Amino acid sequence: MATAISIQGLTKKYVDVWQKQEVVAVNNLNLEVQEGEIFGFLGRNGAGKTTTIKMLLGLIFPTAGDATILGKPMGDNNVKKELAYLPEETYFYDSMTGWDLLDFYARLFRIPEPERRRRVKLALEKVRLQPEAWKRSIRGYSKGMRQRTGIAQALINDPKLLFLDEPTSGLDPIAHAELRDIVASLRHEGKTVFLSSHQLADVELICTRVAIIHRGKLLKTGTLKELLAGEHTEIVVRGESLTNGTVGKLKAVARILEGEGTDTLRLSSDDTEKVAAVIDMVRGAKGHILAVTPHKRTLEDVFVETVRKEDGV
């Protein structure tokens, strides 16, 4: 799989006029995103997510470091033909209609007329913006409609790589789910998505790999499976016979968390086969299974844990 984005030591510092105060927005960021991935870029407000995206798009310039996008230097005008960007807040020319806005953006890609019309229609249909709204001024659009228009403008050039900054924030549950599904569907079209989001549940649902950034520093990166490692199942069992030799056998397949020496044990295992073995053993020893509780780690757990650890909380 080819590399879509390769970031090496990307740094952005803001210094005040008197050169006295320095704010490091992005600190020596190293990251690789493969083609065809939906890559989740997570961080708190002010963590450096938008700054990173803006540097990659050439809107602001890095203090140090470099990056390549689809094999070309960041900010390169040729590579922008293959890119799309949806900013955090969808700021548009409010007086334009949805159709005219997309037509304007298509002109910036130098798409000629019959094709332009086809692309605009296709993009508006894809984001499921009601056709009666196409020729209406954006000023009268709801937040959901604006966001759909935002994604439509990002699709106008049939891009290979999309930078989406909080595409589902502030939407009602139906619009949220629909737009999340649209983003998820991009993967099936072979597109790469760099998704910056606070919606951890969405990221967990649609992303293949994730990076956590905090105060400009990359804290963690990996596949969801790697990050969510640590899932386990707790089993609570009871039986008088458990106090004899059965405990030794149980210890061999699961961890005893609580109750050794009593008739009630709390055990834990991260292997589903071993959980089944524990249950069989307890039943064989005429014991009772009181509870089997799977403990699943969520991305939110991982995110909060990682950020708090960094903050020393």
Partner 1 sequence: MVPLAIARQTVREAMRRRVMWVFLICGVFLIALGPVFGFLSPRDSQTVLRSLGLAAILLAGLFITIVTCIYLIPTEIERRTIYTVLSKPVQRYEFVLGKFLGGFATVFINIAAMGVVFLVMIYFQEHKIPPEMFKGVLMTFFQMFLLAALTIFFSTFATPVVNFFLSFGIFLVGNLSSVTESLTTNHNPIVRFAGDTIHYLLPNFGNFNIQNSIIHPVTEIANENIFIRNNIVYALIYSAVLLTLAILIFDRREV
* From candidates 16, 45, 91, 244, binder to partner 1 by CB under 8 A: 91
Nearer to partner 1, 85 or 303 (CB): 85
> Taking CB under 8 A as the rule, does residue 96 contact partner 1?
yes
Q: Which stretch binds partner 1 (CB under 8 A): 85-93, 203-211, 258-266, 287-295?
A: 85-93
Q: Least distance from C-beta 125 to partner 1, angstroms?
A: 20
219 makes contact with partner 1 (CB under 8 A): no
Minimum gap (Å) between residue 69 Cβ and partner 1: 12
Assess 107 for contact with partner 1 (CB under 8 A): yes
Is 59 a residue that touches partner 1 (CB under 8 A)?
Answer: yes
Residues 136-175 that bind partner 1 (CB under 8 A): 153, 157, 163
Selected binder of partner 1 within 35, 109, 122, 215 (CB under 8 A): 109
Considering only the stretches 41-49, 100-108, 239-247, 278-286, report the one whose residues sit in contact with partner 1 under the rule CB under 8 A.
100-108
- Confirm or reject binding of residue 80 to partner 1 (CB under 8 A): yes
Contacts of 16-24 spanning 24+ positions with Cβ under 8 A = 24/215, 24/216
Q: Does 225 bind partner 1 (CB under 8 A)?
A: no
Q: Is 24 in the site for partner 1 (CB under 8 A)?
A: no
- Given the rule CB under 8 A, which residues bind partner 1? 54, 57-61, 77-78, 80-81, 83-85, 87, 89, 91-93, 95-96, 104-105, 107-110, 153, 157, 163
